[in-house]
């Protein structure tokens, strides 16, 4: 039976093993904890280096940090390499570019988009460049200021999309690969009060699927030759009959380019969609997330399993995919403190 390795981040204390390495058994969905790493507070998001030998985690606190680690899954070893300031409060997301030479991050409360060099040994260098977002949105509680929530590279291009929950915008930046400098290129405005959080790209087609946290919707964009986003479709992530509080969190596309998934916290579900030939989506329905507060999830290579980080129930749930492409049954559940990120080590 095939085995995969998973890394999870959490909203744990500095004394707890907030980062954990797991073995995932493809035949049964069993998750075995191999090693845990303490010494970092609230390691909420993880980016794995393209070579699979190191990763970076965000310490999502005020005056936060970016922390790099060396990893060797087979020998069950994780060792800290170094730390750098996140250049702002509450670093919420981090990305390593396709070359493995640059680390990009955003600070939710600091409203900064930052670039650090990554050295060949996995160490994070000094801050190379930073831009600061400004503005607000109509939701006074959630959109009092700019809140960049993610920075994600456009595949095959030196372009990065920043979803800003506070200003209802998705901004495109070009990075100079010689010095890490960011140059603003384009901006699209979502619906007022939508709160864009995360997005994902189709593996072969010029398509973007963008999740809005506050109003629980999903937007489909086509990418132009110049890298601009052209609106195609807006879909709800919840049934009209559901009136309780909900915030949507993560979105991902299957590696075969056939399905898109999104998580709902409150409704505690995974929404599934089939991708049509023109890139638009057909709703396949909702499946329980196997716990409470599904903040993040990962689709296991092969597209037979999904592992969901249910923050509020302190569980990881392994969901088996059905013939329709949607998760259909919860096969395994393991307890772990406030998991908020799941990454597959390639």
Q: Which residues of 15-53 are buried (b: 16+ CB within 10 A; e: fewer)?
A: ebbbbbbbbbbeeebbbebbebbeebbbbbbbbbbeeeb
What is the tens place of the pLDDT at every residue in 49-83? 999 999 999 999 999 999 999 999 999 999 999 99
What is the tens place of the pLDDT at every residue in 154-164? 999 999 999 99
For domain 3-345, give the CATH number: 2.130.10.10
Q: Do residues 11 and 19 make contact, with C-beta atoms less than 8 angstroms apart?
A: no
Separation between Cα atoms, residue 203 and residue 163, nearest integer Å: 20
Closest to 10 (Cα-Cα) out of 78, 55, 59, 54: 59
Q: What angle do CA 261, 200, 128 make, to 5 degrees?
A: 145
What is the tens place of the pLDDT at every residue in 177-188? 999 999 999 999
pTM over cut 0.75? yes
What is the tens place of the pLDDT at every residue in 223-260? 998 999 999 999 999 999 999 999 999 999 999 999 99
Dihedral over alpha carbons 57, 58, 59, 61 (to 10 degrees): -170
What is the tens place of the pLDDT at every residue in 187-201? 999 999 999 999 999
Secondary structure (3-state) at 101: coil
Closest to 163 (Cα-Cα) out of 193, 214, 199, 135: 199
pLDDT band at 346 (very low <50, low <70, confident <90, very high): confident
* Class of residue 257 by CB neighbours under 10 A (exposed 0-12, middle 13-18, buried 19+): middle
pLDDT for 2 equals 82
Q: How many residues does the chain have?
A: 346
Q: What is the mean pLDDT of the chain?
A: 97
> Which structure tokens are listed for 115?
């670039």
pLDDT band at 119 (very low <50, low <70, confident <90, very high): very high
> Which structure tokens are listed for 130?
């930073």
């Amino acid at each position: 039976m095939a085995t995969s390795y998973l890394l999870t981040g959490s909203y744990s204390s500095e004394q707890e093993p907030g980062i954990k390495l797991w073995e995932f058994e493809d035949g049964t969905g069993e998750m075995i904890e191999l090693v845990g790493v303490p010494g970092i507070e609230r390691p909420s998001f993880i980016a794995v280096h393209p070579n699979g030998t190191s990763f970076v985690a965000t310490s999502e606190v005020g005056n936060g940090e970016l922390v790099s680690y060396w990893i060797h899954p087979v020998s069950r070893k994780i060792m800290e390499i170094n730390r750098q300031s996140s250049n702002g409060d509450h670093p919420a997301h981090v990305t390593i570019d396709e070359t493995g030479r640059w680390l990009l991050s955003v600070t939710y409360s600091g409203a900064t988009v930052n670039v650090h060099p990554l050295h060949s040994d996995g160490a994070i260098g000094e801050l190379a460049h930073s831009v600061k977002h400004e503005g607000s949105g109509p939701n006074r509680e959630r959109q009092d200021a700019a809140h960049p929530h993610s920075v994600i590279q456009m595949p095959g291009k030196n372009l990065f999309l920043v979803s800003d929950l506070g200003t209802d915008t998705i901004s495109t930046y070009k990075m100079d690969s010689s010095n890490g400098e960011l140059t603003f290129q384009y901006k699209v405005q979502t619906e007022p009060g939508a709160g864009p959080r995360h997005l994902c790209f189709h593996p072969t087609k010029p398509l973007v699927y963008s999740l809005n946290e506050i109003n629980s919707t999903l937007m489909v964009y086509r990418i132009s030759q110049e890298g601009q986003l052209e609106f195609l479709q807006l879909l709800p992530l919840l049934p009209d009959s559901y009136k309780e509080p909900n915030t949507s969190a993560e979105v991902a596309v299957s590696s075969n380019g056939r399905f898109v998934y999104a998580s709902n916290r409150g409704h505690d579900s995974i929404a599934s969609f089939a991708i049509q030939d023109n890139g638009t989506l057909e709703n396949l329905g909702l499946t329980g997330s196997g716990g409470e507060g599904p903040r993040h999830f990962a689709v296991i290579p092969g597209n037979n399993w999904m592992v969901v980080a249910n923050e509020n129930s302190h569980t990881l749930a392994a969901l088996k995919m059905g013939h329709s492409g949607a998760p259909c049954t919860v096969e395994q559940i393991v307890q772990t403190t406030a998991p908020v990120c799941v990454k597959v080590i390639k």
